[in-house]
Amino acid sequence: MDSGYYEIYRYVTLERIKLRPLPHSARFAPLPVLSCLAILLSLPPFSAAALAQVSCVVTITSPASGTAIAGTQTVNMLESCSGGAPGFKRLYVGPVGSTTILTASFDFPPGPATLAWNTTSIPNGSYHLNVIEWDATGSIKEGGTTQDTIVTISNVAGGSSLPTFSVICPPGFPCPASGLLTFEQGGQPVTANAVFVTSAAAPTATPSRAPTATPSRAPAATPAPTRTASPAPTSTATPAASATPTPVLGGAVMKANDFLNTMGAVTHDIQKLESATAIINGFRYTGLRIGRDDATHSSSGAGSVQDLCNIHAATGVKYHELPIVDDGDASVSDTRAMWDQLAGCGGMLEAEGPNEPNNGPFFYAGATCSMGSSFLPCAHYQADLYKMVKSDPLLRNFRVAGLTEPGAEPDNVGLQFLAIPSGSGLAMPDGTVYADIANTHNYVQGNGTAGTTLMDNHARLAETIQAGPFDHYGNYWGATWNRQFAGASSGQNARPKETTETGWNIYKPGANIGWDMMARLVTDVFLDAPQLGWSETIVYKMFEEPPYDTGNGMFNRNGDEADAGNATALGLYIHNLTAILSDNSSAFSATPVALSLSGLPPTGYYQLMQKSSGVHELVLWGEAFASRTASTVTVTLPKTAASIKVYDITSGTAPIQSLTNAASVRVTLTDHAVIVEF
């Protein structure tokens, strides 16, 4: 393909790296088309059960970290295993400081812990070396290196011939000095050196553009114990967060039941990747109340609408089910039949538009909706979908969410608006209504270094509507990211919004912050979102799905099990959070408390909640993800409480501290939630 201006971004559903053209005002230096190798998709999943059988710790003894190597390099390692011997060992090689993925793997020969590695097989540059041990089938990880070994390949025949490009980093975010880009040109892989510069040092003053944005949803009206469909909510005026957010100290009391009603997970029953029984167990353990799953033409049997109805009947969970888009002009009527069945059994929460049509083109109204041609068929589909929902007796009271990634429009059909304003002069008529609520995939695992390296206030920034490395601005806020078509307001609560996908994949190259830290980060997202006007937060995803989609689930796969026995740290911490806050009624008037806090750091936030029993829960959470600063916060109540209990979601559901007849308590905040109950 020809040279042009491109930005690397994540195809979130499968954690693949893809490209999209950048607008003129935010271009990098000219780059050839990049087609990155998402190699870690092939890595087998972590399995706690397997590690209990064979567990190895590996140390690379040569080459030493920081050395330059060339030609055939001997890689030596020491391994210490319990429970048996590993099946085989594999060396993984990934570039240092790269925003793309260039990774190769090399298998050790059977027996000796020595590998003769021909370094000329990959380009010159600096690389991370890691060794992972697998069982004989390659499906179970049995151990690996814990240290980070970095070497520089310097072969005479390579390196000097590589082209060099400048890449502008977003302002205010970490910027590596250099790295490698790998891309495809003429069907062949090509590698180039990359020099990263901050926007201030860039040759031109054009600002780097905000990452892909996607629709989102505004806070819903106070939910009843049993969730019912409601029209589009009105957003509350919450101040927009700045680059260094300050706490939104809620004088208002949030009902615990209302908070729990904002939390959800993506499941894959329709794809038959997990059973309805497993999903039921997963919802029961995590306490999550919203599901999101795929479209189907099946009304009964495995992977059908009836499965979602059965999940609802067993758990009370209500679903976003994606619309049908694979039946041409009959797709909207097919969707109507599917959603009528789901609504009829009480299992539907909301109608949602197509999922990322820039990544999944479809045919409607006599043409294909595609980022490479036109989004006009998408616009006709979304407008017809909205009309269908509002005219259907079973569906008319459900809120309609817009499609995701409207900012990809190659032509201005107005999908960046919920309704096209008058005087727009677009390809679709003024007044065309697409949705009641903006719908986003603003992953906390952002773009560039925000997708690999944690910052202080990382979760808070991901929920803040502003230009930056997170995927919300440029779709329903600001100008569209593809062609810079004029869009809607950039205000934090200018429109109702929801998140239908977010999360962090620890197996993305360079992004392995570990299960524990990932779980702390994502549970903070659940807490930040309602304060910043997001009415729902749906995390991708409930289950690990080996071999291609792992590193982001709440449970490891083990038949129909979904409990403490196979929960990842993410599933465990969500369980602890929802169990501590558990409540099922909003039919009461919340009582404010004039408490005071001292010592709250710039990375600390809080929300006062109340249960229907009258008990108050002060949830405090820290976001010192980079600095790791521990802060002591003193909570002082207006009067003595008969009982004060302190919980830590990383420690379990039992209190870590209990006081009687006390009016104050000290807690420590770092990077996760603690709860003071009184």
Instruction: Give the pLDDT of residue 146.
Output: 62
Asked if 260 and 538 touch (Cβ cutoff 8 Å), the reply is no
Taking alpha carbons only, the member of 124, 256, 173, 162 closest to residue 527 is 256
% residues pLDDT > 90 (the chain):
58
> How many Cβ atoms are within 10 Å of 91's Cβ, its own excluded?
19
Q: Which residue has the higher pLDDT, 39 or 301?
A: 301
Query: Does the reported pTM lie above 0.95?
Result: no
Q: Is the pLDDT of residue 406 over 80?
A: yes
Distance of CA 335 to the CA centre of its chain: 27
Q: Is the pLDDT of residue 601 over 60?
A: yes
Q: Is the pLDDT of residue 210 over 50?
A: no
Q: Which residue has the higher pLDDT, 104 or 391?
A: 391
Torsion of CA 388, 391, 394, 397, to 10 degrees: 100
Instruction: Give the pLDDT of residue 168.
Output: 46
Q: Is the pLDDT of residue 545 over 80?
A: yes
Tokens of 280: 């039921």
Tokens of 453: 């390296």
Angle among Cα 12, 13, 14 to the nearest 5 degrees reads: 95
Instruction: Give the pLDDT of residue 418.
Output: 96
Distance CA 551, CA 562 (A): 16
Distance CA 45, CA 566 (A): 13
Instruction: Give the pLDDT of residue 55.
Output: 76
DSSP state of 273: S
Taking alpha carbons only, the member of 320, 407, 414, 346 closest to residue 376 is 414
CB contact set of 111 (below 8 Å; sequence gap of 6+): none
Instruction: Give the pLDDT of residue 156.
Output: 64
Instruction: Give the pLDDT of residue 444.
Output: 97
Q: Which residue has the higher pLDDT, 347 or 28?
A: 347
Question: Residue 105: what residue type?
Answer: S
Instruction: Give the pLDDT of residue 163.
Output: 47
Q: What is the mean pLDDT of residues 13-20?
A: 33
Q: Which residue has the higher pLDDT, 116 or 637?
A: 637
Dihedral sign from CA coordinates of 551, 580, 443, 323 = positive
Average pLDDT, the chain: 80
**DSSP secondary structure letters along 294-318:** ---S-SSSTTSHHHHHHHHHHH--E
Binning pLDDT at 50, 70 and 90, where does residue 549 land?
very high
* Three-state secondary-structure class, residue 119: helix
Instruction: Give the pLDDT of residue 603.
Output: 96
Question: Residue 246: what residue type?
Answer: T
Burial bucket for residue 398 (CB in 10 Å: 0-12, 13-18, 19+): buried
Out of 31-40, 385-394, 533-542, pick the least confident: 31-40
Instruction: Give the pLDDT of residue 38.
Output: 36
Asked if 142 and 56 touch (Cβ cutoff 8 Å), the reply is yes
Binning pLDDT at 50, 70 and 90, where does residue 388 land?
very high
Q: Is the pLDDT of residue 197 over 70?
A: no
Q: Which residues pair with 20 in a beta bridge?
A: 7
C-alpha distances in Å from residue 152, one per residue of 37, 103, 157, 178, 254: 21, 14, 15, 12, 53
Q: What is the pLDDT of residues 213-266, one digit of tens each?
A: 333 333 333 333 333 333 333 333 333 333 333 333 445 899 999 999 999 999
Q: Is the pLDDT of residue 42 over 60?
A: no
Tokens of 528: 């930040």
* Three-state secondary-structure class, residue 173: coil
Q: Which residues pair with 263 in a beta bridge?
A: 537
Q: Is the pLDDT of residue 50 over 80?
A: no
Distance CA 181, CA 186 (A): 16
Q: Is the pLDDT of residue 432 over 90?
A: yes
Binning pLDDT at 50, 70 and 90, where does residue 139 land?
low
Q: Which residue has the higher pLDDT, 440 or 28?
A: 440
Q: Is the pLDDT of residue 12 over 60?
A: no
Angle among Cα 11, 389, 355 to the nearest 5 degrees reads: 5
Q: What is the mean pLDDT of residues 652-675?
A: 97
Q: Which residue has the higher pLDDT, 155 or 103?
A: 155
Instruction: Give the pLDDT of residue 138.
Output: 59
Asked if 241 and 515 touch (Cβ cutoff 8 Å), the reply is no
Distance CA 373, CA 353 (A): 20
Distance CA 563, CA 556 (A): 10
* Three-state secondary-structure class, residue 639: strand
Instruction: Give the pLDDT of residue 589.
Output: 94
Q: What is the mean pLDDT of residues 52-57?
A: 69
Dihedral sign from CA coordinates of 344, 349, 351, 357 = negative
Residue 536 has φ and ψ, to the nearest 5°, of: -140, 145
Q: What is the mean pLDDT of residues 472-480?
A: 88
Q: Is the pLDDT of residue 171 over 90?
A: no
Q: Is the pLDDT of residue 164 over 70?
A: no
Q: Is the pLDDT of residue 141 over 80?
A: no
Binning pLDDT at 50, 70 and 90, where does residue 107 land?
confident
Count of H-run helices and E-run strands, the chain? 9, 31
Binning pLDDT at 50, 70 and 90, where does residue 140 land?
low
Binning pLDDT at 50, 70 and 90, where does residue 487 land?
confident
End-to-end Cα separation, the chain, in angstroms: 63
Q: What is the largest CA-CA distance in the chain?
A: 76
Instruction: Give the pLDDT of residue 541.
Output: 97
Q: DSSP strand E in 599-672: where?
A: 604-610, 616-622, 631-648, 657-669
Taking alpha carbons only, the member of 257, 293, 289 closest to residue 274 is 293
Distance CA 356, CA 119 (A): 39
Q: What is the pLDDT of residues 350-375, one digit of tens each?
A: 999 999 999 999 999 999 999 999 99
Instruction: Give the pLDDT of residue 430.
Output: 95
CB contact set of 187 (below 8 Å; sequence gap of 6+): none
Angle among Cα 484, 486, 489 to the nearest 5 degrees reads: 120
Q: What is the mean pLDDT of residues 504-531?
A: 96
* Three-state secondary-structure class, residue 384: helix
**DSSP secondary structure letters along 112-166:** SSEEEEEGGGS-SEEEEEEEEEE-TTS-SEEEEE-S-EEEEE--TTSSTTS-EEE
Dihedral sign from CA coordinates of 43, 46, 52, 56 = positive
Distance CA 575, CA 282 (A): 10
Q: Is the pLDDT of residue 478 over 80?
A: yes
Asked if 520 and 528 touch (Cβ cutoff 8 Å), the reply is no
Asked if 537 and 500 touch (Cβ cutoff 8 Å), the reply is no
Question: Residue 568: what residue type?
Answer: T
Instruction: Give the pLDDT of residue 344.
Output: 97
Tokens of 96: 């240092």
